[in-house]
Amino acid sequence: MKKIVAVACLLVAGSASAVGVGLRAGTTGVGGDVGMNLIPMLDGRLGWSGLNYNRTINDTDVEYDGKLRMRNFSALVDFSVAGPFRLTGGLVYADNKLKVTGKPRNGTYTFNGRTYTAAEIGSASGEVKGKNTIAPYLGVGYGSVAGAGVNFYADLGVMLAGGSKTSLTVDCGTAIIGTPQCTQLQADAEEERRKLDDKVSGFKVWPVINIGVTIGF
């Protein structure tokens, strides 16, 4: 977070010849930017975007209610290379996570191939999030947030998430607390977490595709 604040201070330092605001939507959620021209061919911008999305996840042994929460604060620099086309780089404070809550199928749970009744499970919940809270961003784009008048702008790039971290907590129900079956459940839950981890292990970059409209002053 300190790095982003430092970049933000650089963006606002000095005199800006043009300022604009933009509204956008895309793979990082819905949000906006404040942009300013720093020197010829170089703009800086600060942005925020977020999204809440719920869905059922049923491609593992356990069915989950998933809740995706995305919050991204960005500090970017745009370098114009040819007219409205530009190169963009910077940092994103990425607070993105998927929280999951397990639910029974036909009154049972299956962890690591073993079936447990709903009474044998107290609760099952987990979380998936990126390893890099501060994620470098690299991309290309079209249009300037700091451009005069009403304009279109777009970004295409990647946030370097650095992989994912997973957690899964399964509590034994009152029917099996203190029994060998409870110990077995914990082992099966850890194996289920590893399966979940394998599914998201390749998540090292987050694709960024955003489009929006700007108003410059």
**pLDDT confidence of residue 58:** 76
Per run of 10 residues, the mean pLDDT along the chain (length 217 residues) is 50 60 97 95 97 84 87 97 96 93 86 90 91 95 92 96 88 93 94 82 87 93
pLDDT for the residue 16:
44
pLDDT at 60: 66
Q: Report yes or no: 131 and 113 within 8 Å, Cβ to Cβ.
A: no
Residue 3: the pLDDT is: 54
Q: What pLDDT shows up at residue 13?
A: 44
For the segment 18-50, what is each residue's pLDDT rounded down to a tens digit? 899 999 999 999 999 999 999 999 999 999 999
Q: CA-CA distance, 167 to 106, in Å (whole number)?
A: 25
* Residue 55 CB neighbours (<10 A): 11
So what's the pLDDT on residue 17?
A: 59
Q: What is the pLDDT of residue 102?
A: 87
At 1 the pLDDT is: 56
CATH number for the region 2-14+33-216 comes to 2.40.160
CB 189 within 8 A of CB 170: yes
DSSP state of 6: H
Beta strands 149-160 and 108-111, pairing class: unpaired
Q: Please state whether 80 falls in left (phi above 0), alpha (psi between -120 and 50) or beta.
A: beta
